[in-house]
Structure 1
Amino acid sequence: MELLPLVCLCLLSCSGETSAAGDGVKVVVKEDDDAVLPCSLSTKEDITRQTFDWRKDESQKDVFFYNSGIHSDNSNIGQDEQFKGRVSHFQDQLKNGDASIKIIKTKMADSGIYSCIFPNLQPRQTFIIELVVDQVLRDRTGENIPGAAPEPNIKTLDVTNDWALLQCEAHGDPLPTVEWKDSDNNDLNAEKPQISERGGRSYITVNITVTKTDNYRCVATQETISHQIATVTAVRLTV
C-alpha cells in the first residue's frame, strides 16, 4: 500500500528529532520526554466526524482510538494499560485532517512501529511512524532492577600536603565501568581498572592520584540497563 505524504512535522520541534524512515517517519526522543507522532491527510479534510485508530507493533496494541468525538480519553473504549492516561490528540487540528497524537513521559517500552489507520476512508489509509526512545543514564536503584550497582565506595589510601591517592570500588551485574571526574565534570586520568572476586561477586577498583583541592566524583555506569550512580569525596590539600 502506498503511503500518503505526512505533514505537520512542525509539531515535533519540541518533541524530539524527526527524519524519514523508509516509507514512514521516524521520531526520536529522550526517555521521559514527550513525543508527538504525526499523522495527517494530505487533503487536509475535516476529520472531526471521522474514525482513526492508532496501534503499535505486530501485536496491534491499542494506543488511541477516535470516532466522531468519542475517543480513548472520554469513553470506555479499550486502550492498552501501557498507554492509559498518557496519550492525547490535537482536538483543534482535526478540522485540518490532523490525527497526530502526543505520548507523555516516554519509556523505553514505547519504542516501536505505530500505525495510524483511517478504516472508513475509501480506500482505507494507513500511516506508519517509528518511535525511538533513547536511553537516559540515571540512578535507577529505586526501580528495583536486578544487578543495578549501588553507590561506589571511595577510600583515601594515602595523603600528603600536595597530593592524595583515592580508590573507588564498585560492583554490579553487569560489572559497571568506573570513571573519576572533578567538580566541573571533567574526566580525569586514573590508573588501569582492576577486577577482583570476593564472596562470589565481581568488583572493579580504580585508583587515582589528585593534586588539588576539589570535590571528586567516582561514577559507576551500566549502559545495558541505563543505570549510572556516583559517590563524591572532598579532598583538601594545603599547597
Structure 2
Amino acid sequence: MLNNTVWSILCLLSLSAAIVGHANDQSVVTVISKEGQDAVLPCSLSTRKNIVQTVFDWKKDDQKEVFLYDAGIHYNNGRTGQDQQFIGRVSHFPGQLEFGNASIIIQNTTVIDSGTYSCVFPRIQPQAQIFKIQLLIGGTFKDRSNIIPGAAQEPCVTILTATEHKVFLKCEVRGAFPQPKVQWQDSDGKVLPAEEPQVSERDKRYSVTLITTVTRTTTNRFYCVVTQDVIKHRTAADIYVPFCEPKCNHSAGTFMGGWFSGALSVGGPLAVFLVIKYIKKRQRERSDQQEKDPENGAAVSLNLEDV
C-alpha cells in the first residue's frame, strides 16, 4: 500500500514539476480527493537538495499546524503543537527527504480538510521557499452537526400565528458557521415562498430566522431545511399543520377528538382559534334550535365542559 502511494507521489511530482519548481511565484497546485480517501500533498525542491537536516513546515489556511519537520523531529515522534484536526492523520516520506521531497499524506480525508495548504522551507537560502497546494475534498451532503464545529444543529420550527385561512411558520437556526442557507419546503420537496431571512452574526457564528405562510394544500407537513455547502452539511426539522377539512364542520366528535388534540400538540394560537370557532358554531346551532322549538326551554350556553 505504501509503495503504491510512493509511486503516486513521484508521478504527481513529475507532472507538476514546472509549478512546484518555482515556489515563490505563488503558483498553486490543486489536489482533488474523495471523502474517506488519503490525499497526497506535493512539495519538493527543484534543486533536489537533501533536506534531512533542515526544516519544513506545513500549515492550513496559514493558521493550523499540519506537519512540522525539524532535522528528524516531527509531530509523529515527540514534537507538540499540531492542530487537533490532524493528530494521527499526517505523515511524510522519510526515504524521499534526501531528494528534497517534503510531501505529506493526509489520511481518511473529510470535507473539513478542504482548503489552502502551504509548505514552507524557512531556512533555504537565499530566501525562504513557499509552496501552495489547494486541497478539494468531494463529499456528499449529510448531517455533520456532531462531527464538524459550526455545523448547524437541527432547526427550531414553530407555528408563529394563525388566522382562519393562513398559518405562519417560523424556522430558527442559531450559532452556525459558515452561514447556512435556510428554506421552507413541502412534503414533495418544493421550496415555498418566504419572507426575507433575518440574519445576525456574533463571534463569527450566524443565526437565521425564516418565516413562511402556508394555506390549505395537499399536504399538512412542512420542512425547514438547513444547508451549508462548504462543509457538505444538511439538517432539517418538520412540523405538522392540522388544517381542518370541510367535513369537520359536520362532525363535532371527529373535530374535538382529532383536530383539537392535534392543534394543541402543534401550537397554542391555532388551537385557541379552532376551539373558539367551534364554540361559536355550537352556540348558533342552539340558538336556532330554541327559536324553532321554544318549549324546549332557554338556550343553554356552551363552555369548555360541553366539549
TM class by shorter chain equals 0.5 to 0.7
Unpaired runs of 5+ in structure 1? 1-7, 149-172, 180-191, 205-219, 230-239
Task: Give the distance between the partners of 1:138 and 1:12, measured in 2 at CA.
Answer: 35
Task: Give the distance between the partners of 1:178 and 1:133, measured in 2 at CA.
Answer: 31
Counterpart in the other structure of 1:125? 129
Letter in 2 for 1:69: G
Letter in 1 for 2:222: Y
Counterpart in the other structure of 1:98? 101
SS of the equivalent of 1:62 reads strand
- Structure with greater strand percent: 1
Letter in 2 for 1:61: K
Counterpart in the other structure of 1:86? 89
Letter in 1 for 2:69: Y
Correspondence 1:40 to 2:47? no
Q: CA deviation at 1:107?
A: 2.2
Counterpart in the other structure of 1:236? none
SS of the equivalent of 1:115 reads strand
SS of the equivalent of 1:92 reads helix
Q: CA deviation at 1:193?
A: 4.8
Counterpart in the other structure of 1:11? 9
1:147 equivalent among 154, 160, 173: 154
TM-score normalised by the chain length of structure 1: 0.55
Q: CA deviation at 1:54?
A: 0.7
- Structure with greater helix percent: 2
Q: CA deviation at 1:129?
A: 0.8
Share of identical aligned residues, percent? 40
Task: Give the distance between the partners of 1:136 and 1:12, measured in 2 at CA.
Answer: 30
Q: CA deviation at 1:9?
A: 9.3
SS of the equivalent of 1:121 reads coil
Counterpart in the other structure of 2:31? 27
Q: Where in structure 2 are the equivalents of 1:51-200 lying within 5 Å?
A: 51-58=55-62, 60-123=63-126, 124-138=128-142, 146-147=153-154, 174-175=183-184, 193=190
Higher RCO, 1 or 2 (CA under 8 Å, sep at least 6)?
1
SS of the equivalent of 1:114 reads strand
Q: CA deviation at 1:82?
A: 1.3
**Alpha carbons of structure 1 residues 146 and 177: separation in structure 2 relative to 1, 3 Å:** farther
Task: Give the distance between the partners of 1:104 and 1:176, measured in 2 at CA.
Answer: 38
Task: Give the distance between the partners of 1:34 and 1:95, measured in 2 at CA.
Answer: 24
Contact 1:54–1:62 (8 Å) recurs in 2: yes
Contact 1:176–1:222 (8 Å) recurs in 2: no
**Alpha carbons of structure 1 residues 98 and 110: separation in structure 2 relative to 1, 3 Å:** same
Q: CA deviation at 1:73?
A: 0.6
TM-score normalised by the chain length of structure 2: 0.44
Task: Give the distance between the partners of 1:73 and 1:62, measured in 2 at CA.
Answer: 13
Letter in 2 for 1:93: Q
SS of the equivalent of 1:75 reads coil
**Alpha carbons of structure 1 residues 75 and 194: separation in structure 2 relative to 1, 3 Å:** closer
Task: Give the distance between the partners of 2:68 and 2:53, measured in 1 at CA.
Answer: 13
Contact 1:135–1:226 (8 Å) recurs in 2: no
Unpaired runs of 5+ in structure 2? 1-5, 21-25, 156-181, 193-212, 237-307
Task: Give the distance between the partners of 2:184 and 2:92, measured in 1 at CA.
Answer: 43
SS of the equivalent of 1:11 reads helix
Task: Give the distance between the partners of 1:77 and 1:120, measured in 2 at CA.
Answer: 21
Across the aligned residues of Structure 1 and Structure 2, the Cα RMSD in angstroms comes to 4.1
**Alpha carbons of structure 1 residues 202 and 130: separation in structure 2 relative to 1, 3 Å:** farther
Task: Give the distance between the partners of 1:178 and 1:33, measured in 2 at CA.
Answer: 35
**Alpha carbons of structure 1 residues 115 and 32: separation in structure 2 relative to 1, 3 Å:** same
